[in-house]
């Protein structure tokens, strides 16, 4: 799914209106894996929420395959994974994964069936437990498994690996790329981890501090799997780091 | 079961009864003012049949009224969540019912509907309805916002969000409501019986009161408090089974 934003801004209304995004323009072709990286509070989650139709687009435009987010969500073409695990405490691990399919009525054609999704994230042996019995990282993996069952062509992933240790992160990154490559879904992947962005994405977008706008757009034209020793990989890491430095100091490229 | 926690309440109640018993004997308190607990229990044992019949009747009224109150309060809360426009009007009406002293209505209902079971059930239902409405409504209205977002990202319908999210999320609030309403149900049934009835514990208490037969009256009070506590315990046990995911019980809405 193609994603196009044209001077997209968003302000939260409250006692004091708060400008979270300012004039974001970008174009993401179908099938691209894009990492969004930027300082905390810069509007990354806000951007994903706009694309998931959880916030209304009031200023500028945001189109998914030429349609407003509402239409794409109604066609079940968008999968959103929240920054918090958002699990139902009264459902078992397995029932939590199955829930998405029950709501969207996937019937016999989920992208990935529940058992398979749980196996991919390494939670098969916990299928009968309840979320309260899981650690923070396990809860996040459960939320990831649930997202992977959705038959969507746009994945909006809000820091899906934030609560994971480095080894689990690497293993899951491999699983995820294996799932993603044949599907060719468009991915927006929010992360604070430069190496995660460099290892996974085709492109990294660096956001400035709030109000967020794009300060650096870094292509990552490297074949997968990527090796940290590769000098090209190192130069990608350096560019992202430089971009983040500009984001911190507020200098725009 | 934690041993310390089981025997402490028993010891407290036992101690209280012992002090009461010895005070009555020590100060030679006359029977028409305060009977000793032993005398009360003895009276109870002597009149087991009439007391059990009265208890069954009152319990039936209380439970039927509670069921009716929970059902109407719960259904109304569901309706208000599914069609939010009506909330203001209905809540005004509900607060009006709640603000009217039901003790004042009880004799009227007896006058209109007779000495039978029906006016007791209605009074009990009126007393229990409001806490149920308020608690379940607030439970239905505030599931975790992150979960609501999740359902919306799946394009869930209002009805799906209601059945799969709001209803289960409101269960802890249902138990909070029941724990307030159950004692009110006993009060409702007994007070209604005081205003005129052909049977029941309230009726027995009223007869005993007019004859200044205090042991008789205290026997009924003993039954009421024991049953009330047993019922509360039963609810707490049920709660821990049904709402197993809730580590602590939710704070009930103040009504
Ligand atoms: N519901 C809301 N109401 C008001 N302000 C909000 C709301 N959600 C976010 N904000 C504000 O908007 C700004 C951007 O928030 P957002 O969650 O998009 O940041 P983020 O880039 O995802 O940060 P993080 O990396 O910490 O998750 C923040 O300053 C935040 O305070
Ligand atoms: Mg965020």
pTM over 0.90: no
Tell whether the model's pLDDT for residue A251 goes beyond 70.
no
Q: Are residues A39 and A98 in the same domain?
A: no
pLDDT for B103:
79
Considering only CB atoms, which chain A residues are within 8 Å of B144?
86
Tell whether the model's pLDDT for residue B254 goes beyond 60.
no
pLDDT for B253:
61
Q: Are residues A22 and A73 in the same domain?
A: yes
* H helix intervals, chain A: 44-51, 69-74, 93-104, 114-120, 136-148, 166-183, 194-200, 231-249
Tokens of A54: 């959880």
A157, A204, B243 from A69: Cα distances, Å: 16, 22, 37
pLDDT for A85:
94
Establish if A82 belongs to a structural domain: no
Tell me the CATH number at A232.
3.40.50.300
Those residues of chain B whose CB sits closer than 8 Å to some CB in chain A are 144, 146-147, 149-156, 160, 164-165, 168, 171, 244-247
Tell whether the model's pLDDT for residue B232 goes beyond 70.
yes
Establish if A163 belongs to a structural domain: yes
Percent of chain B with pLDDT over 90: 64
pLDDT for A253:
46
Q: Say if residues A77 and A58 touch (Cβ distance below 8 Å).
A: no
Distance A20 CA to ligand 1 centre (A): 7
Percent of chain B with pLDDT over 70: 95
pLDDT for A105:
84
Q: Are residues A138 and A25 in the same domain?
A: no
Pairing of strands A186-190, A203-207: unpaired
- Confidence category of residue A217, pLDDT binned at 50, 70, 90: very high
**Radius of gyration over every alpha carbon of chain A, rounded to an integer in angstroms:** 18
User: Which residue range(s) make up the domain with A184?
Assistant: 3-77+152-252
pLDDT for A108:
61
pLDDT for B1:
47
Q: Are residues A245 and A165 in the same domain?
A: yes
Which letter does DSSP use for residue A67 in this model? B
Q: Into how many domains does chain A fold?
A: 2
CA-based nearest distance A227→chain B, Å: 36
Q: Are residues A174 and A233 in the same domain?
A: yes
CA-based nearest distance B236→chain A, Å: 18
Tokens of B18: 């012992």
Question: Which candidate, B126, B30, B31, B140, places its Cα nearest to that of B72?
Answer: B126
Residue with tokens 């408090």: B225
Q: Are residues A161 and A94 in the same domain?
A: no
Q: Are residues A165 and A102 in the same domain?
A: no
For A135-182, how does the pLDDT look when each residue is reduced to its tens digit (9 = 90+)? 999 999 999 999 999 999 999 999 999 989 999 999 999 999 999 999
N- to C-terminal Cα distance for chain B?
A: 33
Buried b (16+ CB within 10 A) or exposed e, A148-174: bbbbbbbbbbbbbbbbbeeebbeebbe
Q: Are residues A69 and A181 in the same domain?
A: yes
d(C-alpha A153, C-alpha A79), whole Å: 8
Q: Which residue of A has its CA nearest to B241?
A: A90
pLDDT for B251:
62
Q: Residues B41-249: name the CATH superfamily.
A: MetI-like (1.10.3720.10)
pLDDT for A132:
94
**Residue where one domain finishes, among candidates A134, A150, A166:** A150
Q: Are residues A24 and A144 in the same domain?
A: no
For A69-85, how does the pLDDT look when each residue is reduced to its tens digit (9 = 90+)? 999 999 999 999 999 99
Ligand 1 atom at shortest distance from the alpha carbon of A159: 27
- Confidence category of residue B249, pLDDT binned at 50, 70, 90: low
Q: Are residues A116 and A240 in the same domain?
A: no
Establish if A106 belongs to a structural domain: yes
Q: Which of A78, A90, A103 sits opposite B151 (nearest CB)?
A: A103
Q: Are residues A29 and A131 in the same domain?
A: no
- Confidence category of residue B116, pLDDT binned at 50, 70, 90: confident
A34, B77, B86 from B138: Cα distances, Å: 41, 9, 15
- For B62-76, the DSSP string reads HHHHHHHHHHHHHHH
For B67-109, how does the pLDDT look when each residue is reduced to its tens digit (9 = 90+)? 999 999 999 999 999 987 888 888 888 888 888 888 788 888 8
Establish if A61 belongs to a structural domain: yes
Q: Are residues A156 and A59 in the same domain?
A: yes
A100 touches chain B (CB under 8 A): yes
Mean pLDDT in residue range B26-50: 92
Mean pLDDT lowest among B6-15, B51-60, B159-168: B6-15
For ligand 1, is residue A42 a contact (CB within 6 Å)?
Answer: yes
Establish if A169 belongs to a structural domain: yes
For ligand 1, is residue A105 a contact (CB within 6 Å)?
Answer: no
């Amino acid at each position: 799914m193609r994603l196009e934003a044209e001077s997209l801004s968003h302000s939260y209304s409250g006692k004091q209106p708060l400008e979270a995004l300012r004039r974001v323009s970008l174009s993401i072709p179908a099938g691209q894996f894009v990492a969004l990286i930027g300082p905390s509070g810069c509007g990354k989650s806000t951007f994903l929420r706009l694309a998931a139709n959880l916030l209304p687009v009031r200023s500028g435009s945001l189109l998914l395959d030429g349609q407003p987010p509402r239409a794409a969500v109604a066609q079940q073409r968008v999968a959103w994974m929240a920054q918090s695990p958002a699990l139902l405490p009264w459902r078992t691990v397995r029932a939590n994964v199955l829930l998405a399919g029950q709501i969207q009525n996937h019937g016999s054609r989920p992208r990935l069936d529940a058992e398979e999704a749980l196996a991919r994230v390494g939670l098969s042996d916990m299928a009968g437990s309840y979320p309260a019995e899981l650690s923070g990282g396990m809860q996040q993996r459960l939320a990831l498994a649930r997202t992977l069952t959705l038959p969507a062509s746009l994945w909006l992933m809000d820091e899906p690996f934030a609560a994971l240790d480095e080894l689990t992160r690497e293993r899951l990154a491999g699983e995820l790329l294996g799932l993603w490559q044949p599907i060719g879904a468009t991915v927006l992947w929010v992360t604070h981890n430069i190496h995660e962005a460099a290892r996974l994405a085709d492109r990294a977008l660096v956001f400035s501090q709030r109000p967020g706008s794009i300060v650096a757009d870094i292509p990552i034209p490297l074949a997968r799997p990527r090796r940290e020793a590769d000098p090209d990989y190192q130069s990608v890491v350096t560019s992202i780091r430089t971009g983040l430095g500009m984001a911190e100091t507020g200098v725009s490229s | 079961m934690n041993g310390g926690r089981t025997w402490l309440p028993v010891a407290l109640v036992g101690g209280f009864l012992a002090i009461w018993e010895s005070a009555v004997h020590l100060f030679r308190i006359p029977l028409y003012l305060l009977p000793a607990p032993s005398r009360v229990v003895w009276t109870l044992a002597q009149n087991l049949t009439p007391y059990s019949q009265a208890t069954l009747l009152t319990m039936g009224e209380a439970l039927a009224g509670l069921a009716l109150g929970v059902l109407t309060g719960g259904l109304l809360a569901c309706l208000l969540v599914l069609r939010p426009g009506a909330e203001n009007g209905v809540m005004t009406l509900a607060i009006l019912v709640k603000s009217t002293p039901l003790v004042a209505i009880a004799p009227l209902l007896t006058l209109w509907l007779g000495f039978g079971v029906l006016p007791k059930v209605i009074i009990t239902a009126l007393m229990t309805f409001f806490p149920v409405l308020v608690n379940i409504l607030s439970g239905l209205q505030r599931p975790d916002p992150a979960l609501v977002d999740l359902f919306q990202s799946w394009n869930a319908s209002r009805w799906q969000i209601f059945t799969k999210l709001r209803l289960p999320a409101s269960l802890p609030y249902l138990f909070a409501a029941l724990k307030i309403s159950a004692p009110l149900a006993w009060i409702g049934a007994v007070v209604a019986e005081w205003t005129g009835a052909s049977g029941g514990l309230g009726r027995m208490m009223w007869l005993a009161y007019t004859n200044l037969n205090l042991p008789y009256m205290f026997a009924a009070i003993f039954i009421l408090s024991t049953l009330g506590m047993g019922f509360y315990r039963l609810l707490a046990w049920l709660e821990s089974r049904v709402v197993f995911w809730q580590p602590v019980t939710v704070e009930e809405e103040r009504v």
